[in-house]
């Protein structure tokens, strides 16, 4: 295989040549309230991995949230290692929130 651009052509290489191509994993599925840890001021979340992991193991997750009165999501936590989480912020009772992983 040879690649060519405005600067010329590359040397010949075997197709694939041992390279691994990584793609983004699918987003997590089935985000839900984990009632076993949810209280009046915190929420527990659980989810499942996406259908495709993009070719390698998913090593952590990021969790985002927003209140009903705010359209901007704020990162709540990163480096979450498991498919469950309990908030590290205090939620206001009666306020509606949205979460995404």
Quote the DSSP letter at residue 51.
S
- The closest alpha carbon to 100, from 35, 27, 25, belongs to 27
Q: Which class would CATH give 24-100?
A: mainly beta
76 near 60, Cβ under 8 Å? Answer: no
Q: What residue ranges do the domains of the chain occupy?
A: 24-100
- Report how far residue 14's alpha carbon sits from residue 9's, in angstroms, rounded to the nearest whole number: 15
User: Model-level pTM greater than 0.85?
Assistant: no
Higher pLDDT residue, 4 or 64?
Answer: 64
- Report how far residue 63's alpha carbon sits from residue 54's, in angstroms, rounded to the nearest whole number: 19
Residue 14, pLDDT above cutoff 80: no
pLDDT at 30: 93
What digits encode the pLDDT tens for the residues 18-74?
666 677 888 899 999 888 888 888 888 999 988 888 878 888 889 998 887 777 898
32 near 47, Cβ under 8 Å? Answer: yes
């Amino acid at each position: 295989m040879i690649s060519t651009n405005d600067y010329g052509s590359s040397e010949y290489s075997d197709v694939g040549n041992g390279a691994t191509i990584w793609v983004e994993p699918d987003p997590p599925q089935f985000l839900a309230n984990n009632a076993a840890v949810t209280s009046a001021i915190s929420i527990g979340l659980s989810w499942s991995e996406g259908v495709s992991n993009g070719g390698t193991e998913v090593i952590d997750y990021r969790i985002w949230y927003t209140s009903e009165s705010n359209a901007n999501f704020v990162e709540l936590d990163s480096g979450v290692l498991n498919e469950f989480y309990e908030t590290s912020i205090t939620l206001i009772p009666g306020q509606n929130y949205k979460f995404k992983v």
